[in-house]
């Protein structure tokens, strides 16, 4: 499992790269690593079954960029993402997709501004879940 400090570093690198874009008004970067580990139990006494029917996992890693670009007709808003590449190359690909997909929306005001509330919820997960093996499950 990719550590959160790696995700945070990738996010910081992405913001640095975005700050150098002359046509960029503002942007958000979202970086995530997801692993879903599922064991579906299925038992029927009177029909042949596996007991554990679907031991499976799905993994995905990526970053997404929501960006507002400066344009003669007014700001253009676009989103682009790149899976499985948290390097500056991945950021550049995501940004290119966001720029290509940007649209002019007269109702757009701005990206959300940070609120005043401070984060209070920390370490609320069971760290053992991130180390769970198939045998354990």
Residues found near other proteins in the complex (CB under 8 A)? 36, 38, 40, 42-62, 77-85, 87, 89-90, 92-93, 97, 100-107, 133-135
Nearest distance in Å: CB 4, other proteins: 19
| Strand, coil or helix: 20 | coil
Query: Residue 14 — φ and ψ, nearest 5°?
Result: -65, -45
Nearest distance in Å: CB 53, other proteins: 6
Nearest distance in Å: CB 130, other proteins: 16
DSSP 8-state class, residue 135: T
Nearest distance in Å: CB 112, other proteins: 16
Instruction: Give whichever of 18 and 61 is closer to other proteins, judged by the CB atom.
Output: 61
Instruction: Give whichever of 44 and 120 is closer to other proteins, judged by the CB atom.
Output: 44
Give the residue from 105, 101, 104, 58 showing the smallest Cα distance to 83. Answer: 58
Instruction: Give whichever of 9 and 56 is closer to other proteins, judged by the CB atom.
Output: 56
58 burial type by CB count under 10 A (0-12 exposed, 13-18 middle, 19+ buried): exposed
Characterize the bridge pairing of strands 24-42 and 51-69.
Answer: antiparallel
């Amino acid at each position: 499992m990719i550590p959160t400090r790696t995700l945070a570093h990738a996010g910081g690198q992405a913001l640095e790269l975005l700050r150098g874009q002359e046509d960029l008004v503002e942007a958000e970067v979202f970086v995530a690593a997801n692993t879903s580990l599922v064991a579906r139990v299925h038992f029927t006494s009177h029909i042949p079954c596996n007991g554990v029917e679907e031991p499976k996992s799905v993994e995905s890693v990526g970053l997404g960029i929501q960006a507002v670009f400066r344009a003669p007709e007014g700001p253009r808003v676009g989103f682009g993402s790149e899976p499985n590449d948290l390097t500056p190359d991945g950021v550049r690909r995501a940004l290119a997709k966001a720029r290509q997909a940007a649209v002019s929306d007269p109702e757009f005001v701005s990206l959300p501004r940070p609120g005043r509330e401070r984060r209070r919820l920390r370490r609320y997960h069971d760290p053992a879940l991130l180390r769970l093996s198939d045998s354990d499950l």
